[in-house]
Chain A
Amino acid sequence: NAGVTQTPKFRVLKTGQSMTLLCAQDMNHEYMYWYRQDPGMGLRLIHYSVGEGTTAKGEVPDGYNVSRLKKQNFLLGLESAAPSQTSVYFCASSYSIFELGTDTQYFGPGTRLTVL
C-alpha cells in the first residue's frame, strides 16, 4: 500500500496563477483533509471531507477550493495564488470517527508551494 500520496512535491507560482494539488489514498478511508503548515503556527485545517461528494470548511478556507469526486482522491485548488499562500501543504486521511470514535490521521509527504 502506498498510503497517502501527494502531487506535486514542489511548486513555484506567480501571484495570480492557479493550480491544483492532488491527494490520493489507497486505505479506503472515508475522511480526508487538507492542512497547511507554517513556521510557528502548526498545522491548520483548510478543508475536509467526510465522504465521497462532500466537502466542508476548516479553520482557514479562504482562497482555496476542494473537490472529492472519488473516495480515494481529494483535490485542493488555488484559483488566484497569493504570497500569503506560500506554505507546506499536507493531505491526510482517516477512518470514520463514527466507527472508531477517534480521528487518527495518516499524512502524505507534503507539497512545498512558493508564491512569488
Chain B
Amino acid sequence: SQKIEQNSEALNIQEGKTATLTCNYTNYSPAYLQWYRQDPGRGPVFLLLIRENEKEKRKERLKVTFDTTLKQSLFHITASQPADSATYLCALGGGYQKVTFGIGTKLQVIP
C-alpha cells in the first residue's frame, strides 16, 4: 500500500536559518503534492502545490521541490521566523484518488 514518510521528530532551527523538511513516499505515483501548515488546536492550512511535471515551486519565503525519481519532496522556509513554528504536513494526490496525508513534522524556530 502507499506510504508517506515525514520525519516524526521535531526539527529545531535557529531564527534566520533555512528550514528544510522532507517528505518521502513509496508505492505511489502522485500527480501532485501539497504542503499544509497546522498550528496547535487548528485545522491544516494549504500552503503550496507542486505537480509531477514541475521540479520547483516558490511562494514568498517558501520553496518546494518534487523529485519523482527519488520519490521525495523537500519543503524549504528561508529566513525562518518564530512565527513559522508549526507542524507541516505533506499530502499526495492524483487522478481520482483521495489525497493522502503524512503525519507531519513539527518545526520549532528558536529566537
Q: Within the complex, what minimum Cβ distance (angstroms) separates B47 from chain A?
A: 10
Cα–Cα distance between A104 and B32 once the two chains are bound (Å)? 10
Q: Within the complex, what minimum Cβ distance (angstroms) separates B1 from chain A?
A: 10
Contact B41 A110 (CB under 8 A): yes
Closest to B34 in A: A104
Contact A43 B101 (CB under 8 A): yes
Known: A42-B101, A42-B102. A108 touches B96 (CB 8 A): no
Interface residues of A in 87-112 (CB under 8 A from B): 90, 92, 97, 101-110
Say yes or no: is A74 at the interface (Cβ < 8 Å to chain B). Answer: no
Closest to B48 in A: A104
Q: Mark B88-111, 1 if CB is under 8 A from A, else 0.
A: 010001001011011110000000
Say yes or no: is A41 at the interface (Cβ < 8 Å to chain B). Answer: yes
Contact A97 B96 (CB under 8 A): yes
Which bracket fits the contact residues of B?
20 to 34
Contact A103 B93 (CB under 8 A): yes
Total A-B residue pairs with C-beta atoms closer than 8 Å?
50
Cα–Cα distance between A83 and B34 once the two chains are bound (Å)? 32
Contact B8 A43 (CB under 8 A): no
Interface residues of A in 42-90 (CB under 8 A from B): 42-43, 45, 48, 58, 90
Cα–Cα distance between A102 and B98 once the two chains are bound (Å)? 10
Q: Mark B26-46, 1 if CB is under 8 A from A, else 0.
A: 000001101000000111111
Interface residues of A in 9-59 (CB under 8 A from B): 33, 35, 40-43, 45, 48, 58
Q: Could you name 26 residue pairs across A and B whose Cβ atoms are closer than 8 Å?
A: A33-B98, A42-B89, A42-B102, A42-B103, A42-B104, A43-B44, A43-B89, A43-B101, A45-B98, A48-B98, A58-B98, A90-B43, A101-B31, A102-B31, A102-B32, A102-B34, A102-B51, A104-B34, A104-B49, A105-B46, A107-B44, A108-B43, A109-B42, A109-B43, A110-B41, A110-B43
Q: A residues within 8 Å of B by Cβ?
A: 4, 33, 35, 40-43, 45, 48, 58, 90, 92, 97, 101-110
